Amino acid sequence: MRIVISCSHGAAEEELRSLYAWLLAVPPARRHAGLALGASQPPELHHQGELVDILSLVLGSGFSAGSFSLALATWRATRPQEPVIRVERPDGVGITLTNVTPGEAERLVRLLGGESAPDSESEPSG
């Protein structure tokens, strides 16, 4: 399953690049997750390049939802200010994570495991 991660922190691109580098240091993620930085919107006319505002990756048997959840929580704990992260499944259902807690990690794993709404904060985007 391909998931998309976004950040609503003021330095979103910097935070996503940091998470990308962090995940590249996790051997199963580097080998199996198909990590990619990208833009949710096409570049504006007359602008060079695109704004990086999403990180996508693939979850499966090589890199599971539990492994991703643990890597994400560990990375967020290293940040000077915990960035607010949104994780979305292909169907648009997602969860916004605001704290590094076991409860958030559990909700994330349930969402990525296929639950339609693991809590009241999960909602389709768009």
- DSSP letters, 81-104, are S---EEEE-TTSEEEEE-S--HHH
pLDDT in tens, 76-87: 889 888 889 999
Strand ranges inside the chain, DSSP E? 2-7, 36-38, 54-58, 85-88, 93-97, 123-124
CA distances from 34 to 57, 60, 106, 119, 124 (A): 5, 11, 23, 28, 24
| Confidence label for 29 from pLDDT (cuts 50, 70 and 90) | very high
Q: Return the domain boundaries, the chain.
A: 2-41+51-124
- Whether 63 and 56 have beta carbons less than 8 Å apart is answered as no
Does residue 124 or residue 3 have the better pLDDT? 3
Check pLDDT > 60 for residue 123.
Answer: no
Tokens matching residue 68: 């991703």
